[in-house]
Amino acid sequence: MVAALEAVDVGAHLLDGRGAILGANRRAERLLGRSAPELIGRDAHDLLHRNRHGETIPRAQCRLRKAILSGAPTQVSGEWSERGDGSLLPVSWLATPCVLEGHKVTLVLFHTVDVAVRPGSRPGGAGPSLTELERLALLAETTTQLTSTLEVNEALDRLIHLVLPRLADWVVVDLLTERDEVWRFAVAHAENGTVLRREDLEGPMPPVPEESLMPLARALRGAASALAGPETYRGRQLSAISEEQRRLFEVAGLHSAAIVPIRGPRQVMGALTLGRSEQPDPFTAADVALVEDVSRRAALALENARLYQGQRRVAETMQRHLLPQMPYVPELEMTVRYAPASDASQVGGDWYDAFPLADGATALVVGDVVGHDLDAAAGMAQLRNMLRAYAWSQQKPPSKIVEWLDEAAQHIAEIPMATLIFARVELPEEGGYLLTWTNAGHPPPLLINRDGTAHYLDQGHGVLLSAAPEQPRPDATAVLPPGSTLLLYTDGLIESPDSSIDEGLRRLREEATSLSHRPLDPFTDAVLDRARAPGSEDDVALLTLRVPDQP
């Protein structure tokens, strides 16, 4: 953003939360008679703010400091700044809050004024007629707010709050879907300082007639922007979509509206309608130009958000296609879930698997290849396929299968590191289900008994794959009591930057125990929803198994 200040044709500088100058453009340097090194890092109040006699203003009376603390856009005229040569510069300034690299900052735009002509102060952003300084501030704030999110809904919600009530009393956002259908995404109204949504006016809209010359239809085709009023829709034969727009004018009591396309780099994405019902001044051609500038910035943000979400869907689809379908095992209930990471534009290496073995047992696997990229996903697929081949062809304990897998992975799979649990479930002759497993650096399975007691299966723990392939691995066994539930999961369920692993394990045990009376599918959904660590940024693979009440 500091570099972007040069594009503003007024003096501009950024202040941190304490009022220190973070950056300034060349216009500010010329107006203040000070170089950037003389400005950056200095307290703006102490360095610049003076009264008409050149005296320092008490901090308690500094209106810029109040604007920084309140976080509200503020415009003031009739103040003075001390230049580098000691002379006084009469200025008008506008301060607006912004976000820079995750930190709240304040953008200050200023220019010299004739204080005899422009005395006093004026609330920033209020009223239908904006000064050039206010327009520049609005565009700067729009760019900052909309480009700092990759969620379509959040970007449009920010847009609504930026223009209400600064430019209008009502804002309407119509979006074109991938099938060129029109969806009235938002109808919002500013009332007593609060933005209210009118959901009764939102939803699907009629199609856009190709031949229509009405303002909304033309905007949705990307043809042109337009001014409109109630008279626009009187005495005409209206198409269905124009009839909806006429109804909007009637319900909202609009006397003036500016309707502009939301035109992205590749296509028209929708239309933006700003309407006035309480502000008395009608929109002008100059207002339309400003709304078009706002709309262009909104379109760029929407384009980026849609590209991101498209990439996200592709990544999720690829991940899910890499994960296998669960086999049907008549004696056992099994279900699986996969939840993508918060940054789901990346595929990951978490996986689950279950398959029948040649001796009649059922194999269970949950694993995690280190990384969140295509290499991790490819490594996961390689490990899964090799493990299946070894487990089917070799009637050996889980530990031996994983030892072979670890050795082969060093030479074939090019996997930097991975964790997994490989288990066998079988029904011995004397009755009762027997679980045999080995753990390669993975979080322990959780076993919940029918009576609600639960404990982690901490045995059979060895090092993760690729750490020491020559080291023998242990096996462990446990009987799965009738009606018990077994959970195998990846670390995204229990780990997060905000909590320890011990806290995650405790939370998982408590939540799973309280939910264990539910049928397996809703139990698994609820565990994933309630036990997942707050702030978790990792994906989760979850496999649950429930044995019958009678062996």
Q: What is the pLDDT of residues 26-70, one digit of tens each?
A: 999 999 999 999 999 999 999 999 988 788 888 777 888 888 877
Residue 244 — left, alpha, or beta (φ > 0 → left; ψ -120 to 50 → alpha)?
Answer: alpha
Query: In CATH, what class is 3-124?
Result: alpha beta
d(C-alpha 440, C-alpha 296), whole Å? 53
Q: What is the pLDDT of residues 266-313, one digit of tens each?
A: 889 999 999 999 988 898 887 888 888 888 888 888 888 777 766 666
pTM of this structure:
0.49
d(C-alpha 113, C-alpha 257), whole Å? 33
CATH code of the domain made up of 146-313: 3.30.450.40
pLDDT tens track, the chain, 551 positions: 556 677 777 899 999 888 899 999 999 999 999 999 999 999 999 999 998 878 888 877 788 888 887 777 888 888 899 999 888 889 989 998 888 877 788 899 998 865 433 333 333 333 345 666 777 778 888 888 887 777 778 888 898 988 888 889 999 999 998 788 999 999 999 888 789 999 999 999 999 998 888 999 989 998 888 899 999 998 888 999 999 999 999 999 999 999 999 988 788 999 999 999 998 889 888 788 888 888 888 888 888 877 776 666 665 665 555 666 777 777 789 999 988 765 544 556 788 999 999 998 999 999 988 765 556 666 677 788 889 999 999 889 999 999 999 888 877 766 678 899 999 999 876 667 999 999 999 999 999 999 889 999 999 999 998 877 778 899 999 999 999 999 999 998 998 877 788 999 999 999 999 999 999 999 999 999 998 877 677 788 999 999 988 75
CATH code of the domain made up of 323-546: 3.60.40.10
Q: Domain spans of the chain?
A: 3-124, 146-313, 323-546
Angle at which helices 285-322 and 132-147 cross, to 10°: 10
For tokens 């609820």, name the residue: 526
Q: Do domains 146-313 and 323-546 have the same CATH topology?
A: no
Which DSSP string do the residues of 419-449 spell out, in sequence order?
Answer: EEEEEEEE--TTSSEEEEEEEES-PPPEEE-
